[in-house]
Chains A and B, each alone.
Chain A
Amino acid sequence: MERKEWPLWEIFVRSKNGLDHKHCGSVHATDARMALQVARDVYTRRQEGVSIWAVKASDIVASDPDAKPELFDPAEDKIYRHPTFYKLPDEVDHM
């Protein structure tokens, strides 16, 4: 039997105002409205959220996990980017 699977949507939920939307899982739905409806039932049965984002999984662009060294290692030796790199006199070190 030839079957067409419903598209996959990634679901992000803001648990309360003041916090970021956070990825919590995915659902299958035919359109955006259904994705929100299904996400509500699957991921917020106990008031886990006040706002839901649904993003078509095929629209997400992500970095390549194999490119981790090129992308992220260069920051490793730039310790001067952290406040702890600077040793100030005791009287002002709480700065």
Chain B
Amino acid sequence: MYTQALDIPGQQPKGKPDAVENAAYQAEFDARIDAGATIEAKDWMPEAYRKTLIRQISQHAHSEIVGMLPEGNWISRAPSLKRKAILLAKVQDEGGHGLYLYAAAETLGVSRDELTEALLSGKAKYSSIFNYPTLNWADVGVIGWLVDGAAIMNQIPLCKCSYGPYARAMVRVCKEESFHQRQGYDALLAMMGGTEAQREMVQDAVNRWWWPSLMMFGPHDADSPNSGQSMRWGIKRISNDDLRQKFVDATVPQAEVLGVTLPDPDLTWNEDRGHYDFGTIDWDEFWNVVNGHGQCNVDRLATRVKAWEDGAWVREAAIAHAEKQAAREKAAA
């Protein structure tokens, strides 16, 4: 149940369990995780598990919301009514994903306002990929194909994550993501069947988005110290490097069908491993973007802050209206 207000009326709120009780709860929690059981909102959980989930789910929600901006940039300039309707539906889905995920995070005891505040103040992170600009229409297709494609790889294992509300939100998200990837690829196919200039636009967009897409899976396993704990807790099921490899293996044949070249001279099939080898990721670029120095960080945040501030009077007016209506109904009753 996505709610914090589930206590039985009149029931005393539980105080902090003491150390002994805590150890017993902890043992039971560990056993349930080991047995592959699902943890639900009101179940006891270690504070670190709760904090990790709040951080991960809210970052994920922020990414969906900020992720509306690069593509939203092209809604008014889509090349046809059909593409415009598709893009609108896709961007609306991303907004929906953000909302499913905020709701899941709220079950852990944070308020929506706290989460919003963390994003707008720059305290919370969101996926580094959305700090790159969308320079031409092919970027929209490439985002659908590569960025949503990488997101799908990341998200499918989360459908089986140990925290129930997150897992259920992810099932809903994953059902919708396949449309995102396919519409992107379809838009690119149309361009590849067009003029030489259009094919060059697609190749240019692929050149710019390929490496940032690989960075979406996060640092190498050896450099991601928290992964072990997340695996132990059943929050993470597959390692960053394994997911990245799966993505590369799935994408190479798709690039061939499309007729584009992935911008990596080291990309080759490795018969022994049964996987594609690929070149070295520029982690300096990754950390630079994560730490706020990407091309669009400032712009993205400013856009969200403006939207929030411009909406303030609407939020206040809606509350005032509802309160007035409720008071009137009470008076009439």
Chain A residues within 8 Å of B, Cβ to Cβ: 3-6, 8, 10, 23-28, 30-31, 34, 41-43, 45-46, 57-58, 60-66
Chain B residue at minimum C-beta to C-beta distance from A24: B172
Q: Is the CB of A42 within 8 A of B100?
A: yes
Q: Is the CB of B3 within 8 A of A10?
A: yes
Is B322 part of the contact surface with A, judged by Cβ < 8 Å?
A: yes
Q: Is the CB of A30 within 8 A of B103?
A: no
Task: Provide the main secondary structure of the chain B interface.
Answer: helix
Is B111 part of the contact surface with A, judged by Cβ < 8 Å?
A: yes
Q: Is the CB of A6 within 8 A of B318?
A: yes
Chain B residues within 8 Å of A, Cβ to Cβ: 1-9, 11, 14, 40, 42-44, 89, 92-93, 96, 99-100, 103-104, 106, 111-113, 169, 172, 176, 315-316, 318-319, 321-322, 325-326
- B7 to chain A: which residues have CB within 8 Å? 62, 64
Task: Provide the main secondary structure of the chain A interface.
Answer: mixed
Q: Is the CB of A60 within 8 A of B319?
A: no
- Counting from the closest, the 10 A-B pairs by CB-CB distance are A30-B322, A57-B3, A62-B6, A26-B2, A30-B318, A31-B322, A58-B5, A65-B42, A26-B103, A57-B5
Question: Please, how many angstroms separate the alpha-carbon atoms of A58 and B7 in the complex?
Answer: 9
- A64 to chain B: which residues have CB within 8 Å? 7-8, 11, 42
User: Which of A4, A6, A25, A61 touches B103 (beta carbons < 8 Å)?
Assistant: A25
Q: Is the CB of B40 within 8 A of A57?
A: no
Question: Please, how many angstroms separate the alpha-carbon atoms of A8 and B169 in the complex?
Answer: 17
- B326 to chain A: which residues have CB within 8 Å? 31
Q: Is the CB of A61 within 8 A of B113?
A: no
- B3 to chain A: which residues have CB within 8 Å? 8, 10, 26, 57, 60
